[in-house]
């Protein structure tokens, strides 16, 4: 790939004279102020590369010649030369234009044509038509604003697929025209083909019609022979059966009359046991009543016992409290008595002289005392002072009373301990009371919920019962049941109990799906409404015998296992305004055959007009009934009105259902009433809770009082402990002071005088003796006597309190004793009631056992009676069956004889050639020839065989009615064959022509597709990478993302190309939703990706960064810098000469006013305005030397 070295302009636009622009490096920026002529360089480069004048900001080429305003100085020709380096050699491309608009092209000075000129440029991938090397000012914005279709056209131009467009459009138009001609020819052939088949079918119909007529006549004769043969066989068989059944009638009658007498005897025994059973049941009810009457009294006594037990428990709690109080009081009295004894003992000890001196010792004491008195005055005076001080200190220590306070502390601790024991007992009692109260409250809440639920259920049942009774009352006004109907209803109920196969009347087992159809359904079912549904013929016969025995009347029975029903005509379900009667009746699946038997193919119509249309116009041969009761019979006769049927039949059924519901609701209400009685005794529970609550209040008060006492005593104890600690400190201080005084020298001298004397008397010092003997002894005795008097008074007071306490305690014991006596009496009464109830229960159990025995005996007799009854019924059934069999066979014989005669007369009248040996068909006495009848037909006499004959005849008749033979069809068929051949040839010719054109179109289509996709694939693969390079930064190192997508994957050039980008930190969006700078970056990415498809050696950009901010300008500059590989090659040590020979990356020539862009360039071309010549001038600067 070559490179652009320099550009020479002469008298081109704003450039006066000859100027060299360049040399151009790999990344060159053209800079200069606005209006200086920067874009004219772009025009000059475009001009020399052969771009048309319309793209050069000039209407005509002559406008490119320099003008200065002075015609005498204006140039006559403009020349632009491009020095292009290719493989180390320079090639000079030159283009000039004169004022007359004439252009001249030169290569290395040699004049060449425009085609040769452009061809040489195209060899270097400089495509003038595509302008893949130029981006004019404003082109970037135009590219960003292109819609998908315009972008698709742009890619078509770049890829070259646009060259196939004209041929593509022409072949497509021819293909559509040829396809249309082929379609017309095909439609014509298809129409003639249909007509051909019609002629073919008419020919085949005529042949088939004759064959069907022959087949029908043969089957008719065969059917009549089969029928007459079996009639004769049946006649012979019936004569033998009639004789046999006559003998059975006499035999069965005798057996029936004999067993009926035994059955009546069993019935008498059954009635006798039943009466005795009723008497016993009455006795059982009386016993139950007595037991129930004892229940309230028993509950009352139980409640009283419970109350007394509660009261007893309260008194016992008081007794326990008083016992604790008794123990405390006794303890106090004992303490007082022990204290008196201690005081008396102390008094005695004081009275006894601790220092017992004899006369000699006393004289010695006096002598020594005298000796002490001989001390000097000052010493004695000092000694007296010290003695007084010692006395004073001792009195202060005694006044402190620390021993009394310690004693008081012990008493408080003991009292607190007793109070805590009492509090624990009351707390435990409170827990027990709370548990019992919660248990009772839960029980009450549970009973309340049950009662509320029962009340709600009772209200619902009562409301429903009132509604049922109201509806029943209204319905009974319109329903009058006769005595005969009542007996029949009762008989049907009894038969349901006796025979499991009895289901009830038809009207009781079916119901219209809507009241609208009541009248019509009643008329359809008609006489079958009161028919009784049973499971089999056997059950029906047993029921008939029962009705006869009970002399109730007659009834019709429909045995579900043997009813023959005709198939439903499905076409009747498609009639407008009509419904099959069987479709509007709801019933269980097992009763469906009975409903189908009763309804048949009858239809229910919305009005008379529809019914008339069904019977008269369409002639469907069905019974039609309107919603208001008008009937049109199969014969065409019309019955007006509702035929006496008003729909009350269904109301009778509803009444029975309402009665059943009424009985069920009453039973439910009785059950609820019994349940409510069980949970109605809540008052005793409320009383118990009230008692418990009062006890809880009392216990809470006691606990609070005890808590208060304990708190007061603890406060007193805390203060006392604090006081004792302070007094102990004070006593210690006084003792220390006393010891200090004793240590004085005067005391030492006194102790020295009395030393031997004190040792003999075994006393510590003489001062203790004097104090004991003279002073303290009297004081101590007085104090002890005073204390004894006080303690004695307290003891007397405590004894008086104890006497009062014993009185109250005895009264409490008496109350408890009385309560226990009362409880004993109540328990005796309860035991008495329990015993009476037990006796009644024993009687009740005995009666129940007897009742069970009676019931067992009754059931045994009932079982024997039922066996007898079934035997009688069976014998009666056999008797009646034998009569019925004889009678029915006689009637059947008569009917068969008449049937044979009728068939023979029919054959004569319809001229059916049935084979006979003698006699006359018209007289009905012909003797038939059955030799043509096969053995299988003679053996098979079932109804299926007859249905088979009828279906064959019906099918043949239907086929004949459907066929309308055309006797001229054969001639027309031959004529039409020639016309069809000519039409087929025309179609084949048109089809081949369309196929040929389609193949040519497919080739062009593929060529255009490949050319387009070769470019699109390159753009699609490279645009995301380029966009990422243009948008990545330090904060967003991954950059954004871009993509191209086709709107039509099969023929993309006919639709658009979607260009979507996702800038960094933003969501995926169309390019139309981007800002101006984002659009510019996206458009640049697209332009750079086009370079990858057909890369030109250089790329010229005119102010493409105008809409970009500084950061985006820097990113574009970085990208251009990285793409031009000179700097990278230099960093790798590649020489400049090698760089010039190896240019795999394009040159970039960018016109820009942004410093962030042009400072990254390898070189700069400066353009400025030369005012002297009124034109533009050029400056160049190589920036690589400053790196």
Query: How far is residue 874 from each of residues 488, 491, 863, 888, 1169, measured CA to CA in Å?
Result: 22, 18, 16, 20, 139
* Closest by Cα among 1163, 1152, 1162 to 1112: 1152
Residue 1008 to residue 1051: CA distance in whole angstroms: 9
Both tokens of 702, joined, read 């006691």
Structural domain that includes position 39:
3-133+1096-1186
Task: Write the DSSP symbol of residue 605.
Answer: E
- Rounded to 5 degrees, what are φ and ψ at 1071? -65, -25
Contact 299, 685 (CB under 8 A): no
Please write the tens of the pLDDT for every residue from 898-944. Answer: 777 777 777 777 777 777 777 776 666 677 777 777 777 777 766 67
- Per the document, the length of the chain is 1187
30 SS3 class:
strand
Task: Please name the residue that has the structure tokens 């004491």.
Answer: 365
Residue 19 lies in a domain: yes
Helix, strand, coil percentages (3-state) for the chain, rounded to 5, are: 70, 10, 20
Residue pair 602/615 in contact by the 8 Å Cβ criterion = no
Closest CA to 1174 of 82, 78, 75: 75
How far apart CA 333 and CA 565 sit, in angstroms, is 115
pLDDT in tens, 393-446: 555 555 555 666 666 777 777 777 777 777 787 788 778 778 877 887 787 788
CB 563 within 8 A of CB 533: no
Determine whether 74 is exposed, middle or buried from the number of CB atoms within 10 Å of its CB (0-12, 13-18, 19+): middle
Specify the pTM: 0.39
Structural domain includes residue 622: yes
* CA 339 from centroid of its chain's CA atoms: 86
Determine which helix (DSSP H) or strand (DSSP E) holds 255, and give its type and residue range. Answer: helix 165-351
Nearest to 1176 by CA among 1184, 1186, 1166, 1161: 1166
Is residue 847 within 8 Å of residue 287, measured between CB atoms? yes
Q: What pLDDT was estimated at residue 374?
A: 60
Say how far apart CA 511 and CA 99 lie, in whole Å.
110
Assigned token pair, 389? 């001080």
CB 1101 within 8 A of CB 1148: yes
- Determine how β-strand 532-534 pairs with β-strand 89-98: unpaired
- CA 864, CA 874: separation in Å to the nearest integer? 15
Give the sign of the dihedral formed by CA 213, CA 214, CA 218, CA 219.
negative
Question: Which residues contact residue 822 at a Cβ distance below 8 angstroms, ignoring those fewer than 6 apart?
Answer: 308
Query: Which of 646, 678, 709 is the C-terminal boundary of a domain?
Result: 646
Please tell me the distance from the alpha carbon of residue 196 to that of residue 982, in angstroms, as a whole number: 13
CATH value at residue 104: 3.40.50.300
Q: What is the pLDDT of residue 1118?
A: 86
Residue 69 lies in a domain: yes
- Alpha helices for 352-376 (secondary structure H): 359-373
CA 1120 from chain center: how many Å? 60
Residue 845 inside a domain? The answer is no
Q: Rg of the chain over CA atoms, in angstroms?
A: 69
Whole-angstrom Cα distance, residue 603 to residue 581?
Answer: 5
* Cα–Cα distance measured from residue 652 to residue 507, given in angstroms and rounded to the nearest whole number: 9
Beta bridge partners of 35: none
Token reading at 393: 């200190």
Among 646, 675, 709, where does a domain finish?
646
In a domain, 909, yes or no: no
Report whether 1052 contacts 1016 (CB < 8 A): yes
Asked whether residue 857 is assigned to any structural domain, the reply reads no
Alpha-carbon gap, residue 209 to 881, rounded angstroms: 52
What whole-number distance in Å separates Cα of residue 1028 and Cα of residue 1045?
Answer: 18
The pLDDT, as a whole number, for residue 1130 is 42
Number of domains in the chain: 2
pLDDT score recorded for residue 936: 72
Q: Is the distance from CB of 801 to CB of 329 less than 8 angstroms?
A: yes
Give the pLDDT score at 1129: 45
Q: What is the dihedral angle through the alpha carbons of 711, 712, 718, 724, rounded to the nearest 10 degrees?
A: -150
Q: How far apart are CA 400 and CA 394, in angstroms?
A: 10
CATH number for the domain including 552?
Answer: 3.30.70.1620
Tell me the three state secondary structure of residue 601: coil
* Predicted confidence (pLDDT) per residue in 450-489, tens digit: 878 878 888 888 887 778 777 766 555 444 455 567 778 8
Q: Beta-carbon neighbour count of residue 822 at 10 Å?
A: 15
In this structure, is residue 624 part of a structural domain? yes
The secondary element (H helix, E strand) that includes residue 997 is helix 969-1031
Q: pLDDT, tens digit, for every residue of 810-862?
A: 887 888 888 888 888 888 887 887 787 778 778 877 877 787 777 777 778 77
End position of a domain, from candidates 590, 619, 646:
646
Q: What stretches in the chain show pLDDT beneath 50?
A: 353-355, 376, 477-480, 642-644, 745, 1126-1143
Q: Is residue 212 part of a domain?
A: no
């Amino acid at each position: 790939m070559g490179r652009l070295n320099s550009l020479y302009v002469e008298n081109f636009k704003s450039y006066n004279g000859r100027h060299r622009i360049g040399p151009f490096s790999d990344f060159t920026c053209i800079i200069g102020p606005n209006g200086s002529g920067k874009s004219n360089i772009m025009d000059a480069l475009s001009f020399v590369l052969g771009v048309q004048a319309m793209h050069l900001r000039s209407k005509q080429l002559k406008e490119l010649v320099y003008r200065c305003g002075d015609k005498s100085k204006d140039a006559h020709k403009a020349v632009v030369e491009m020095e292009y380096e290719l493989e180390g050699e320079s090639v000079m491309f030159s283009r000039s234009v004169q004022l007359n608009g004439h252009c001249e092209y030169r290569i290395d000075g040699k004049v060449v044509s425009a085609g040769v000129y452009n061809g040489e440029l195209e060899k270097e991938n400089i495509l003038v038509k595509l302008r893949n090397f130029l981006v004019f000012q404003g082109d970037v914005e135009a590219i960003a604003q292109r819609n998908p279709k315009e972008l698709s056209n742009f890619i078509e131009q770049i890829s070259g697929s646009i060259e196939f467009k004209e041929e593509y459009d022409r072949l497509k138009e021819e293909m559509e025209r040829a396809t249309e001609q082929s379609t017309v020819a095909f439609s014509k052939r298809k129409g003639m083909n249909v007509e051909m088949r019609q002629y073919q079918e008419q020919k085949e119909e005529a042949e088939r019609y004759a064959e069907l007529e022959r087949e029908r006549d043969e089957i008719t004769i065969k059917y009549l022979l089969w029928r007459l043969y079996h009639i004769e066989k049946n006649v012979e068989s019936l004569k033998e059966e009639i004789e046999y059944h006559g003998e059975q009638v006499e035999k069965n009658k005798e057996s029936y009359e004999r067993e009926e007498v035994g059955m009546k005897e069993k019935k008498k025994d059954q009635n006798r046991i039943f009466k005795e059973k009723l008497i016993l049941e009455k006795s059982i009810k009386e016993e139950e009543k007595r037991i129930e009457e004892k229940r309230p009294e028993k509950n009352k006594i139980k409640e009283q016992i419970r109350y007394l037990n509660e009261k007893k428990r309260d008194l016992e709690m008081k007794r326990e409290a008083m016992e604790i109080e008794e123990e405390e009081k006794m303890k106090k009295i004992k303490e007082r008595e022990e204290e008196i004894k201690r005081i008396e003992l102390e008094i005695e000890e004081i009275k006894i002289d601790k220092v017992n001196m004899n006369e000699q010792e006393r004289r010695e004491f006096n002598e020594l005392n005298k000796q002490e008195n001989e001390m000097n005055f000052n010493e004695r005076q000092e000694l007296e002072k010290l003695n007084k001080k010692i006395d004073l200190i001792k009195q202060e220590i005694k006044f402190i009373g620390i021993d009394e306070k310690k004693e008081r502390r012990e008493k408080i601790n003991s009292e607190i301990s007793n109070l805590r024991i009492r509090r624990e007992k009351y707390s435990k009692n409170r827990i027990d009371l709370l548990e019992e109260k919660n248990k009772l409250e839960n029980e009450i809440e549970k009973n309340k919920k049950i009662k509320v639920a029962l009340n709600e259920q009772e209200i619902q049942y009562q409301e429903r019962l009132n509604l049922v009774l109201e509806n029943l009352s209204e319905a009974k006004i319109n329903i009058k049941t006769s005595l005969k109907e009542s007996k029949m209803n009762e008989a049907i109920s009894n038969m349901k109990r006796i025979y499991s196969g009895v289901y009830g009347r038809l009207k009781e087992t079916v119901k219209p799906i809507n009241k609208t159809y009541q009248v019509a359904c009643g008329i359809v079912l008609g006489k079958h409404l009161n028919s009784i549904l049973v499971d089999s013929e056997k059950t029906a016969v047993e029921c008939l015998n029962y009705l006869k025995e009970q002399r109730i009347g007659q009834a019709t029975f429909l045995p579900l296992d043997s009813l023959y029903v005709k198939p439903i005509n499905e076409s009747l379900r498609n009639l407008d305004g009509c419904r099959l009667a069987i479709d509007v009746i709801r019933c269980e699946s097992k009763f469906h055959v009975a409903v189908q038997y009763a309804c048949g193919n009858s239809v229910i119509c919305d009005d008379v007009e529809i019914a008339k249309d069904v019977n008269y116009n369409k002639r469907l041969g069905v019974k039609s009934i309107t919603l208001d009761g008008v009937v049109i019979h199969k014969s065409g006769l019309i019955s007006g009105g509702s035929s006496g049927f008003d729909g009350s039949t269904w109301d009778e059924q509803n009444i029975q259902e309402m009665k059943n519901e009424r009985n069920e609701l009453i039973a439910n209400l009785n059950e609820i009433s019994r349940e409510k009685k069980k949970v109605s005794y809540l008052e005793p529970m409320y009383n118990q809770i009230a008692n418990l609550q009062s006890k809880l209040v009392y216990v809470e008060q006691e606990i609070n009082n005890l808590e208060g006492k304990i708190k007061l005593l603890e406060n007193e104890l805390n203060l006392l402990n604090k006081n004792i600690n302070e007094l102990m400190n004070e006593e210690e201080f006084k003792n220390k002071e006393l010891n200090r005084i004793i240590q004085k020298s005067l005391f030492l001298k006194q102790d020295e005088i009395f030393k031997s004397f004190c040792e003999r008397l075994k006393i510590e010092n003489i001062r203790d003796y004097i104090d004991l003997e003279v002073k303290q002894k009297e004081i101590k005795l007085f104090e002890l006597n005073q204390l004894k008097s006080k303690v004695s008074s307290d003891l007397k007071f405590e004894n008086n309190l104890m006497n009062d306490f014993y009185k109250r305690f005895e009264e409490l014991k008496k109350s408890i004793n009385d309560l226990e006596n009362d409880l004993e009496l109540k328990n005796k009464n309860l035991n008495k009631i329990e015993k009476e109830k037990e006796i009644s229960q024993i009687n009740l159990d005995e009666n129940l056992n007897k009742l069970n025995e009676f019931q067992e005996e009754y059931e045994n007799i009932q079982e024997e009676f039922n066996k007898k009854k079934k035997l009688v019924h069976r014998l009666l059934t056999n008797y009646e069956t034998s009569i019925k069999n004889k009678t029915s066979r006689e009637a059947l014989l008569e009917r068969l004889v008449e049937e044979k005669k009728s068939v023979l007369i029919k054959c004569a009248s319809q001229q059916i050639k049935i084979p006979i040996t003698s006699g006359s068909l018209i007289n009905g006495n012909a003797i038939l020839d059955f030799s043509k009848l096969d053995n299988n037909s003679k053996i098979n006499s079932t109804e299926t065989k007859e249905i088979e004959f009828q279906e064959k005849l019906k099918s043949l008749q239907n086929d004949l009615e459907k066929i309308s033979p055309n006797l001229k069809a054969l001639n027309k068929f031959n004529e039409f064959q020639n016309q069809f051949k000519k039409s087929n040839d025309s179609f084949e010719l048109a089809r081949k022509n369309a196929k040929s054109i389609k193949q040519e179109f497919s080739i062009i289509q593929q060529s255009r597709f490949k050319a387009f996709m070769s470019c699109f694939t390159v753009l699609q693969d490279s645009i995301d990478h380029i966009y990422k390079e243009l948008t990545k930064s330090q904060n967003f190192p991954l950059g954004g993302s871009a993509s191209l997508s086709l709107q039509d994957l099969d023929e993309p050039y006919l639709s658009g190309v979607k260009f979507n980008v996702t800038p960094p930190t933003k969501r995926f969006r169309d390019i139309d939703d981007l800002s101006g700078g984002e659009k510019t970056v996206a458009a640049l990415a697209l332009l750079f990706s086009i370079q990858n498809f057909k890369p030109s050696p250089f790329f010229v950009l005119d102010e493409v960064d105008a809409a970009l901010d500084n950061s985006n300008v820097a990113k574009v500059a970085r990208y251009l810098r990285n793409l031009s590989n000179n700097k990278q090659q230099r960093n790798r040590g590649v020489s400049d000469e090698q760089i010039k020979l190896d240019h795999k990356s394009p040159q970039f020539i960018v016109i820009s006013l942004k410093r962030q862009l042009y400072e990254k360039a390898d070189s700069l071309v400066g353009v400025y305005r030369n005012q002297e010549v009124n034109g533009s001038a050029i400056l160049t600067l190589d920036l690589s030397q400053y790196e």
